[in-house]
Amino acid sequence: MAFQNIDGVSIVLCGQAGQGIQTVEGILTQILKHAGNNIFATKEYMSRIRGGANSIEIRTSENQVTAFVDKMDILIALDKGAVRHVEKRISPETVILAEKEMLGDVFDENRYKFIDVPFTRIAAEIGNKIYANTVAAGMVAGMLKIELSIVTGCVKQYFSAKSDEILQNNLKAAKAGHELGARLISSGQPGFKIGNNNGTKDQILLNGTEAVALGAIAGGCNFISAYPMSPSTGVLTFLTQHANEFGIIAEQAEDEIAAINMAIGAWYAGARAMVTTSGGGFALMTEGVSLAAMLEMPIVIHLAQRPGPATGLPTRTEQGDLELALYSGHGEFPRIIFAPGKLEDAFYLTCKAFNLADKYQIPVFVLTDQHLLDSYYNVPAFDLSGIKNDKHIVETTPDYRRYASTESGVSPRGVPGFGAGVVVVDSDEHDMEGHITEDLEIRIKMVEKRLKKAEALKTETIPPELTGGGDFSTLIVCWGSTYNVVNEAVEHLHRDDVAVLYFKQVYPIHDSAVDYLKRAKKRIIVENNATGQFARLLKLHTGTDIENKILKYNGLGFSIEELVEKLNNLLQDT
CATH code at position 476:
3.40.50.920
> What is the average pLDDT across 352-371?
98
Tell whether 191 and 209 lie within a shared domain: no
Tell whether 167 and 41 lie within a shared domain: yes
C-alpha distances out from residue 126 to 117, 175, 263, Å: 15, 11, 51
| Contact status, residue 154 vs residue 31, Cβ threshold 8 Å | yes
Residue 458 main-chain phi, psi, to 5 deg: -60, -30
Residue 419 main-chain phi, psi, to 5 deg: 115, 180
| Contact status, residue 19 vs residue 86, Cβ threshold 8 Å | no
Looking at 351, 379, 407, the residue that finishes a domain is: 379
pLDDT score recorded for residue 50: 76
> What is the average pLDDT across 74-82?
90
Q: How many domains does the chain have?
A: 3
pLDDT for 93 beyond 70: yes
Task: Establish how many alpha carbons lie within 13 A of residue 191's alpha carbon, considering only the half-sphere containing its beta carbon.
Answer: 17
- Domain annotation covers residue 2: no
Closest C-alpha among 528, 530, 503 to residue 516: 503
pLDDT for 4 beyond 60: no
**Percent with pLDDT over 90 in the chain:** 86
Q: What is the CATH number of the domain that holds 131?
A: 3.40.920.10
18 pLDDT band (50/70/90 cuts)?
confident
- Domain annotation covers residue 385: no
Query: What one-letter code names the amino acid at 264?
Result: I
DSSP annotation of 497: T
177/120 Cα distance (integer angstroms): 11
pLDDT for 251 beyond 70: yes
pLDDT digits (tens, 9 = 90+) for 141-182: 999 999 999 999 999 999 999 999 999 999 999 999 999 999
- Domain annotation covers residue 453: no
pLDDT score recorded for residue 1: 39
pLDDT for 530 beyond 50: yes
Tell whether 59 and 188 lie within a shared domain: yes
Q: Is the peptide bond before 309 cis (omega within 30 degrees of 0)?
A: yes
Q: What angle do CA 500, 482, 67 make, to 5 degrees?
A: 100
Tell whether 287 and 176 lie within a shared domain: no
Which bin fits 562, alpha (ψ -120 to 50), beta or left (φ > 0)? alpha
Tell whether 255 and 190 lie within a shared domain: no
325/331 Cα distance (integer angstroms): 14
> What is the average pLDDT across 514-531?
97
DSSP annotation of 436: B
491/390 Cα distance (integer angstroms): 40
- Domain annotation covers residue 388: no
| Contact status, residue 375 vs residue 539, Cβ threshold 8 Å | no
pLDDT score recorded for residue 2: 45
Q: What angle do CA 136, 140, 144 make, to 5 degrees?
A: 170
Look at 78-82, 411-415, 449-453 and tell me which has the smallest mean pLDDT: 78-82
pLDDT digits (tens, 9 = 90+) for 445-459: 999 999 999 999 999
Tell whether 192 and 225 lie within a shared domain: no
Please give the residue that has the higher pLDDT: either 240 or 80. Answer: 240
Q: Which residues of 166-198 are buried (b: 16+ CB within 10 A; e: fewer)?
A: ebebbbbbbbbbbebbbebbeeeeeebebeebe
Tell whether 120 and 250 lie within a shared domain: no
Q: Is the peptide bond before 463 cis (omega within 30 degrees of 0)?
A: no
336/300 Cα distance (integer angstroms): 10
321/299 Cα distance (integer angstroms): 18
51 pLDDT band (50/70/90 cuts)?
confident
pLDDT for 3 beyond 60: no
Identify the burial level of 572 via C-beta atoms within 10 angstroms of its C-beta, where 0-12 means exposed, 13-18 middle and 19 or more buried: exposed
Which bin fits 262, alpha (ψ -120 to 50), beta or left (φ > 0)? alpha
| Contact status, residue 559 vs residue 482, Cβ threshold 8 Å | no
- Domain annotation covers residue 412: no
Q: What is the CATH number of the domain that holds 274?
A: 3.40.50.970
> What is the average pLDDT across 78-104?
89
- Domain annotation covers residue 340: yes
159/153 Cα distance (integer angstroms): 10
| Contact status, residue 148 vs residue 105, Cβ threshold 8 Å | no
DSSP annotation of 301: E
- Domain annotation covers residue 342: yes
Tell whether 529 and 482 lie within a shared domain: yes
β-partners of residue 204 are 379
Tell whether 235 and 196 lie within a shared domain: no
Identify the burial level of 52 via C-beta atoms within 10 angstroms of its C-beta, where 0-12 means exposed, 13-18 middle and 19 or more buried: middle
Tell whether 197 and 252 lie within a shared domain: no
pTM: 0.96
Identify the burial level of 501 via C-beta atoms within 10 angstroms of its C-beta, where 0-12 means exposed, 13-18 middle and 19 or more buried: buried
pLDDT digits (tens, 9 = 90+) for 197-213: 777 878 999 999 999 99
104 pLDDT band (50/70/90 cuts)?
confident
Tell whether 231 and 375 lie within a shared domain: yes
11/196 Cα distance (integer angstroms): 18
Please give the helix or strand (H or E) that residue 418 lies within, else none.
none
pLDDT for 335 beyond 70: yes
46 pLDDT band (50/70/90 cuts)?
confident
Which bin fits 361, alpha (ψ -120 to 50), beta or left (φ > 0)? left
125/142 Cα distance (integer angstroms): 20
75/82 Cα distance (integer angstroms): 9
Tell whether 100 and 238 lie within a shared domain: no
Looking at 379, 413, 448, the residue that finishes a domain is: 379
pLDDT score recorded for residue 368: 98
Please give the helix or strand (H or E) that residue 444 lies within, else none.
helix 440-457
- Domain range holding 500? 465-570
| Contact status, residue 125 vs residue 177, Cβ threshold 8 Å | no
pLDDT for 322 beyond 90: yes
96/139 Cα distance (integer angstroms): 12
| Contact status, residue 304 vs residue 322, Cβ threshold 8 Å | no
Mean pLDDT of the chain: 94
- Domain annotation covers residue 182: yes
Looking at 178, 202, 226, the residue that finishes a domain is: 202
